[in-house]
Chains A and B, each alone.
Chain A
Amino acid sequence: MNTKIRPTQQPQYSQANGSKRATVLVFGGLVLGAMLGLSACGEIDQKAKTEKVYAKKLDTHAYDGDKFKGDKAKWEASLAQRNGSQNESVKINGK
């Protein structure tokens, strides 16, 4: 039996076919990229807050009132004097 083995034929692509395929791939890539990119639009950040942020008006410093007029050192000295006077042991023994 005479059998002829035909050599395997490699597919022959023309120049026109190759460029068409490249165009399809690029276009497909762009569509896929756009889909992935746009899918994040409108998504609300659901990451847990680790630190709370005070929402409204800020308080003025204690030394910014009428009495101390922003003199922090004077305010601290006043508090320190009262703070120390809580130690009656010092007051009684004079140490």
Chain B
Amino acid sequence: MARMKFICDAERCIECNGCSTACKNEHEVPWGVNRRRLVTVNDGKPGERSISVACMHCSDAPCMAVCPVDCFYKTDEGVVLHDKDLCIGCGYCFYACPFGAPQFPQAGAFGLRGKMDKCTFCAGGPEDNNTAEEFKKYGRNRLAEGKLPICAEMCSTKALLAGDGEVIKSIYQQRVQRRGKGEEVWGWAMAYERGDKKMSATAQVKS
């Protein structure tokens, strides 16, 4: 069975926010909740990098470990999901998560927190697949439709890859081997000068 994972290629991400916008639209995520978001380092400087971050569906998920009501579970595909009927909105998972994935909608005045909401890898929740109840609580279940997460599928530069860990790893590996690493793949030289030379050199090596 495939183990579902995300990879974000920081060399390709152009910070368009298409992934987070598509996610919000697909699942009708409420105001103030961001299942996916962009993080940019060295903004506006040479070497700027952006990365799209959401729940990474950890193999040994710390949110599962700290949840006092055990509302988390993991599917056969390695997707970490939770039951909103059990969640008490305590926020422990938010402190435990190294990616800041758990989100809490404001449920009233005085900063009252609602039940936790996070990326589901477009796999819904413990309700019946593709039902109105599932959509209301967890968003659309694209996995049950034989589709991958919307964020990755509509990424214009294919910076964000989602799916079977082994497959997306091989795609990423192929890219890195082809383009090189570090300063080689950034800026004017890569785009207009060294890029063609490098590609032709790679092609010669391969042939």
Show the binding face of A for B, using Cβ within 8 Å: 52-68, 74-76, 78-80, 82-84, 86-89
| CB atoms of A63 and B144 under 8 A apart | yes
* Residues of chain A lying within 8 A (CB to CB) of residue B70: 52-55
A79 lies within 8 A of B148 (CB):
yes
Question: What are 11 A-B pairs with beta-carbon distances under 8 A?
Answer: A54-B83, A55-B70, A56-B126, A62-B141, A63-B144, A67-B146, A78-B147, A86-B148, A86-B153, A87-B171, A88-B158
B152: contacting residue among A56, A76, A86, A88, CB under 8 A: A86
List residues of chain A with CB within 8 A of the CB of B85.
Answer: 56-57
A-B contact count (CB 8 A): 100
Q: Are A83 and B168 in contact (CB under 8 A)?
A: yes
**B129, A57: Cβ atoms closer than 8 Å:** no
Question: C-beta contact mask, B114-131 vs A, less than 8 Å → 1, else 0?
Answer: 000000000111101110
Q: How far apart are the CA atoms of A61 and B143 in the complex, in Å?
A: 10
Beta-carbon contacts of B168-200 to A below 8 Å, as 1s and 0s?
100100110010000000000000000000000
A64-B129 contact, Cβ under 8 Å, with A55-B86, A57-B83, A59-B73? yes
